[in-house]
Amino acid sequence: MSDLTVPWAKARRKKADPADIVFAWSGIRLARNLEGEAFPGNSSPDRRRAVCAAVREALAGRDPQWSYQNAELLNARDAGLLEEARLLPGDFYQNPQGRAILASPGNAAMILVNGEDHLWIRADRPGLALDRVYPPLDALDDHLSSRLAYAFSPDLGFLTSDPANAGTALRAGVFLHLPGMMLSGEEKILQRTAEPLGVALTGFHGEKDRFPGNLYELSNRGGLGESEAEIVARVTAAAHKIAEEELTVRADLKRRHPERIMDFCSRAKAVLANAYLISATEAMNALSGLRLAEEAGYAEGPAAARNWNELLLAVQPKHIAAAFGYEPSAEERAIRRAELLRARVAPAEG
Amino acid sequence: MLCQICKVNPASIHIQEIVNGKKQTIHLCLSCAGKKTLAHAMFDGMDLGDILNSLEQNLAEMGMPAPGREDGAADGEKKVCPVCAWRLEQFRETGRLGCPACYESFADELKNTLAFAHRSCVHTGKLPLYLPQKQTGKKLDSMEERLGMNRERERQIETLERDLAESVRREEYELAAELRDKIESIRRALAACQPVKTADGDPC
């Protein structure tokens, strides 16, 4: 794949709202299928290749700058990097026959053909930007829907391979950095807050019970009974609500339990400055500590100027391995990761 | 002990439920338990399909046949989508459907799944520009045709309003509340699709 840019890891513009420090990145995915075609999980590689060709043709002429990548010709290294950046689902490359990736310049919008559904149209941006991400996706979807007969029912909306996605088939997700919730032991309250807001919380790797780096992805559940605009507004409002709670909890901790924050931050700083072997999870957690330290004023550092999303991605195993030119051992990766962190983020005072 | 639903296979799963405030234990065979609880399990992040499969494996290792799956599989399990040949059993195992027509083929079985996963059962979002009719597409390019879609929704509202009046008359208030919500969501969809008059009076 010629362009491996990760749109959510690009540098952010200056933040205006204090709650912005909590938002890491956000994105939207629309799932679409073609009428009269079996879903990809039930169709032959040849039928899937025909779907790839139809999608490619439908897009041709709209924007000639879009790139087309046959998944069968994608190399394992690039696929790994895209997977780690969450631009490709985990199983996409494992069975690449009849699958393709269409991407606009800088991967600002991508269409994955024949993953779980015929089309997954997606876009991500740093910060909380769902309301800006949706309109161009909507326009792209309109363009495609004027050329492709989508599988659609007036009652059930866009029909998807997983019935839980039917309806708008829109999934809006926001990544939040919530170290305050972890330090105050409020994770349970967090789940209780999320439930009535109709949103689900998952970790960076999609798990429901582990949140490395204190990162939480908040996303909508269900796509029937709400319009696209309502889902975007609801998820945005839920993200704001949780961000406000996080800031309240941080202020409360700073006032009543400053040792908890200071301990977490100091340990993180010490790890980043002194580790010679560090795993991806430990690195994510230490980065969370340094970020909190800088944001809370416990460490000198350009918290606002740092690109935390890019750092988070840079410490992931396949991103570390990509620099080697061969498949490094886990220990070699851990050594390289520690070097990278000492060079790029270790605070001077340790 | 025999399964309380099919009364044929031995019960191998025992489920406790609270019904009207009272605790009840239900004894089921693997096949009937799958039908009863799969829809719940899928959305609680628990893969009951896996659990049932491993139970079956355990039984097989002990030299016991898996009840209800060999010859006793209920008719529902054998249901197949006539368009793509996807089996209902495959949906139960994977949570995925085989083709768009599966939504009709397994409409009854999907009711619970959809109710668990979504806020309501009516689409209130956008419409594609090209509305499929069977396998050939029909382009919804004129406002006239888009309004045709709205007329369909208006007809739906009329029918639902009749049902609502009837349910109120019968004092079935829970059903009435559901119908009212459904009407409300269709009305919102309708409002979202009305043509907007520009200054010239042309629809845009």
Among A residues 32-51, those touching chain B with beta carbons less than 8 Å apart: 33, 35-39, 41-42
pLDDT confidence band for A15 (50 / 70 / 90): low
pLDDT computed for residue A237 by the predictor: 94
Q: Which of B99, B129, B149 sits opposite A42 (nearest CB)?
A: B99
Q: CA–CA separation, A334 vs A329, rounded Å?
A: 9
Q: A152 vs chain B: nearest CA distance in angstroms? A: 7
Asked if the ipTM is above 0.90, the reply is: no
| Residue A2 in contact with partner chain B when CB distance is under 8 A | no
d(CA B76, CA B108): 10
Kindly list the residues from chain A whose CB atom is less than 8 angstroms away from the CB atom of residue B114: 156, 163, 166, 224
Cβ neighbour number for residue A91 with a 10 Å cutoff: 10
Residue window 1-30, chain B: list those with CB within 8 Å of chain A: none
Which 3-state string (H, E, C) describes chain A?
A: CCCCCCHHHCCCCCCCCHHHHHEEEEEEEEEECECCCCCHHHCCHHHHHHHHHHHHHHHCCCCCCCEEEEHHHCCHHHHHHHHHCCCCCCCCCCCCCCCEEEECHHHCCEEEECCCCCEEEEEEEECCCHHHHHHHHHHHHHHHHCCCCECEECCCEECCCCHHHCECCEEEEEEEECHHHHHCCCHHHHHHHHCCCCEEEECCCCCCCCCHHHEEEEEECCCCCCCHHHHHHHHHHHHHHHHHHHHHHHHHHHHHCHHHHHHHHHHHHHHHHHCCCCCHHHHHHHHHHHHHHHHHCCCCCCCCCCCHHHHHHHCCHHHHHCCCCCCCCHHHHHHHHHHHHHHHCCCCCC
Q: pLDDT tens across A301-349, in order? A: 666 678 899 999 999 999 999 989 899 999 999 999 999 999 988 765 5
| Residue of chain B whose Cα is closest to the Cα of A37 | B99
- Give chain B positions within 8 Å (CB) of A145: 128-130
Query: In this complex, is the C-beta atom of A303 within 8 Å of any C-beta atom belonging to chain B?
Result: no
What share of chain A in percent tops pLDDT 90?
Answer: 71
Check CB contact of A209 with chain B, cutoff 8 Å: no
Nearest residue of A to residue B191 by CA position?
A227
For position B69, what pLDDT does the model report? 42
Contact call for B125 and A168, based on CB within 8 A: yes
- The mean-pLDDT minimum among A6-10, A62-66, A333-337 falls in A62-66
Nearest chain A residue to B82, by CA? A38
Which residues between 14 and 33 in chain A have a beta carbon less than 8 angstroms from any beta carbon of chain B?
33
Q: Does A228 touch chain B (CB under 8 A)?
A: yes
Any B CB within 8 A of A89 CB: no
For residue A230, give the chain B residue with the closest CA: B125
Cβ contact, residue pair A116, B96, below 8 Å: yes
pLDDT at A82 over 80: yes
Q: Give the pLDDT of residue B43.
A: 36
B127 and A138 in contact by Cβ < 8 A?
no
A 170-199 near B (Cβ less than 8 A)? 170, 198
pLDDT of residue B199: 34
A138 contacts in chain B (CB < 8 Å):
126
Q: Which of B124, B129, B152 lies closest to A226 in CB terms?
A: B124
Mean pLDDT of chain A: 90
Q: What is the pLDDT of residues A145-175, one digit of tens each?
A: 888 889 998 889 999 999 999 999 999 999 9
Per-position pLDDT tens, chain B of length 204: 666 666 666 666 666 555 445 555 666 666 666 554 443 443 344 444 454 455 555 555 555 544 444 344 455 568 999 999 999 999 999 999 999 999 999 999 998 889 888 888 888 888 887 655 443 444 444 444 555 666 677 777 888 888 899 999 988 888 898 888 878 877 776 665 544 332 333 332
